[in-house]
């Protein structure tokens, strides 16, 4: 890979569909660590509405934080990331406690990805307003970091209030685990530059626009007096590995093709400022669905893990 810092490769933990079983989670987590992958990732989906279709990936999704806690007990080195949980669905004190505990039991391996949420049905079910979710999330981040700071803790904002308190245990990583943000709109990208330690792309991200999106983030960081070189850019790689593809590369989607084509895509993403790509087979239509055969999903996942192993 080009650049002074090598591109990191991660892998999506099985949390969606028929392959999201304890046995397969254990298999994938341990094989990914043994193969040298840098990280494991989960994501959140609270429900799937009866009316409307979001895609089979969202039909059955395990809780992302509980799944990472399980993976923490099965591994020793690999980092554990959530990409993402939607901050408005929580109170900061509750999520701070969960994430600090997860960082503790994993020995300081947590990457905390936060988002705003987009599904009106989930906001209704969580009992929180959809409006002003951007402002709410910004204050949430400030409250979260205040809770993780040294005792005594206190926070008094428009949306959240924490009376003067002791809040322990603190996270292992100090001052706190890396806070990563999702979102693709310009306002969301600028928020990353101003407030976060990095950006996580969505499964629908146009990878052709990553370079300009990274530029927006870096510009916002500089304007906020922050060092843009310290920010991470993490791509959720919706990968489709094929043995043979056509010779015409023009119409091929990034990360869809032969192993060599995908390696070339990874090089190009790195050149555009991406620091990490994690292969998320939960978003592969032949993997992350309750209707597919779990053994076949595991077979394909093992093939991908072995093909791109780093050691």
pLDDT at 208: 87
- With 60 as the cut, is the pLDDT of residue 2 above it? no
Q: What is the pTM of this model?
A: 0.95
C-alpha closest to that of 115 among 16, 173, 185, 171: 185
Q: What's the mean pLDDT in 111-120?
A: 97
DSSP 3-state of 61: strand
- Strands 153-156 and 161-165: what pairing? antiparallel
> Quick one: which H or E segment has residue 23?
helix 22-34
Cα dihedral value 219, 115, 159, 104, nearest 10: -100
For residues 133 and 104, the answer to whether their CB atoms sit within 8 Å is: no
Q: 142-200 pLDDT, tens per residue?
A: 999 999 999 999 999 999 999 999 999 999 999 999 999 999 999 999 999 999 999 99
- With 70 as the cut, is the pLDDT of residue 245 above it? no
Q: Which of 40-44, 203-207, 222-226, 257-261 has the lowest mean pLDDT?
A: 203-207
pLDDT at 145: 98
pLDDT at 1: 38
Q: What gap in Å lies between CA 53 and CA 289, rounded to an integer?
A: 13
- With 90 as the cut, is the pLDDT of residue 249 above it? no
Q: What's the mean pLDDT in 66-95?
A: 98
- With 90 as the cut, is the pLDDT of residue 228 above it? yes
The CA–CA distances, whole Å, from 153 to 86, 112, 145, 228 equal 23, 20, 10, 29
C-alpha closest to that of 107 among 131, 136, 82, 77: 77
DSSP 3-state of 149: coil
Out of 3.40.630.30, 3.30.70.20, 3.20.20.30, 3.40.50.1370, the CATH code matching 8-307 is 3.20.20.30
All structural domains of the chain with their residue ranges: 8-307
CB within 8 Å of 66: residues ≥ 6 apart: none
């Amino acid at each position: 890979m080009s650049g002074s810092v090598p591109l990191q490769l991660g892998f999506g933990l099985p949390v969606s569909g028929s392959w999201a079983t304890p046995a397969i989670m254990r298999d994938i987590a341990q094989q990914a660590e043994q193969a040298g992958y840098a990280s494991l990732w989960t994501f959140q989906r609270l429900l799937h509405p009866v009316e409307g279709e979001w895609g089979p990936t969202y039909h059955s999704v395990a809780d992302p934080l509980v799944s990472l806690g399980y993976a923490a007990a099965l591994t020793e080195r690999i980092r554990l990331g959530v990409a993402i949980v939607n901050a408005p669905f929580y109170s900061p004190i509750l999520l701070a406690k969960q994430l600090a505990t997860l960082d503790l039991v994993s020995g300081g391996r947590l990457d905390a990805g936060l988002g705003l949420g987009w599904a009106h049905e989930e906001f209704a079910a969580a009992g929180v307003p959809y409006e002003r979710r951007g402002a709410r999330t910004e204050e949430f981040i400030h409250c979260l970091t205040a809770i993780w700071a040294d005792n005594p803790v206190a926070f008094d904002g428009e949306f959240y209030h924490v009376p003067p308190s002791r809040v322990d245990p603190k996270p292992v990583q100090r001052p706190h685990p890396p806070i990563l943000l999702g979102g693709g709109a310009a306002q969301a990208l600028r928020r990353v530059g101003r407030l976060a330690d990095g950006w996580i792309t969505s499964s629908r991200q146009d990878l052709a626009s990553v370079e300009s999106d990274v530029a927006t983030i870096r510009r916002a960081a500089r304007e906020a007096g922050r060092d843009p070189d310290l920010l991470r850019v993490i791509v959720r790689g919706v990968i489709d590995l094929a043995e043979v593809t056509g010779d015409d590369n023009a119409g091929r989607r990034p990360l869809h093709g032969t192993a060599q084509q995908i390696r070339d895509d990874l090089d190009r993403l790195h050149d555009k400022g991406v620091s990490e790509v994690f292969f998320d087979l939960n978003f592969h239509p032949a993997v992350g669905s309750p209707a597919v055969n779990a053994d076949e999903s595991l077979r394909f996942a093992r093939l991908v893990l072995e093909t791109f192993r780093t050691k």
